[in-house]
Amino acid sequence: MENKERKADRRVAKTKRAIQNAFAQLLTEKEADKITVKEIADLADVDRKTVYNYYKGVQDIFGELENELVQSFQEKMMKFEFDPTRPQEIFYALTSVLKDQFEIYELVMKLETSSSFLSKIVVFLKKKIHLVMENYKLISPMKIELAAEYLAAGIFSAYRCWFNSDRAQTLEEFTDDIALLVMGGLPQYLLYN
């Protein structure tokens, strides 16, 4: 009985992945609100009814894909142990995570409808930065909160800007620049560049 359940679970996962992949592929061609369940079903090679067995509609597919991406991001970032004397490591960890699933991050970063995804990522980054900064005992909690908010929003906004640019810099060069800007401040950044 257990073997049949595992097979069924694998079949469900495979079907859902095909539906999500079809949706992601269609996102490269058109905006999410212009994609139909029929298009997704046709591309995934399943019936429309099958899509509706797992999802209420297109937004539900997008929501699940987004949640899985956020969960994956959080799990990977949690594995990194940050040295409070080297806070710039968070940028290199972030770049490593983005490179692991580059195509999907590239897609999501370009979408206008990705604000809930970005909000979840920024909230997580803020918590991670907050934990690193708490090791600096001389900084007041209020200043840590302000710095974490500023850095998390700014960092992810900068990465989004890079994904939407002509990418004259590699992701690694961009990471070096953003680390220098945050760690050295604007005067140091301007002198270096």
pLDDT at position 190? 83
Place of tokens 């918590």: 127
Distances (CA, A) of 55 to 27, 69, 72, 105: 17, 17, 21, 22
What does the pLDDT look like over 123-160, one tens digit per residue? 988 988 888 778 777 788 898 899 889 888 888 889 88
The set of residues, in sequence order, having a beta carbon less than 8 Å from that of 162 and lying 6+ positions away, is 169, 171, 174
In SS3 terms, 59-96 reads as HHHHHHHHHHHHHHHHHHHHCCCCCCCCCCHHHHHHHH
CATH number of 1-55: 1.10.10
Q: How confident is the model at residue 35 (pLDDT cuts 50, 70, 90)?
A: very high
Q: Are 13 and 6 contacting, i.e. CB atoms less than 8 angstroms apart?
A: no
Give the domain ranges of the chain. 1-55, 65-192
Instruction: Write the DSSP assignment of 177-188 as a string of letters.
Output: HHHHHHHHHHHH
Tokens standing for 38?
A: 């029929």
- Give yes or no for residue 51 having a pLDDT over 80: yes
Q: How confident is the model at residue 58 (pLDDT cuts 50, 70, 90)?
A: very high
Tokens standing for 125?
A: 């980054």
> Cα–chain-centroid distance for residue 9?
26
Tokens standing for 123?
A: 């909230």
Element (H, E) at 57: none
Place of tokens 């699940």: 64
Tokens standing for 144?
A: 């840590």
Distance CA 115, CA 111 (A): 8
What is the mean predicted confidence (pLDDT) over 147-175? Answer: 89
Total-model pTM = 0.72
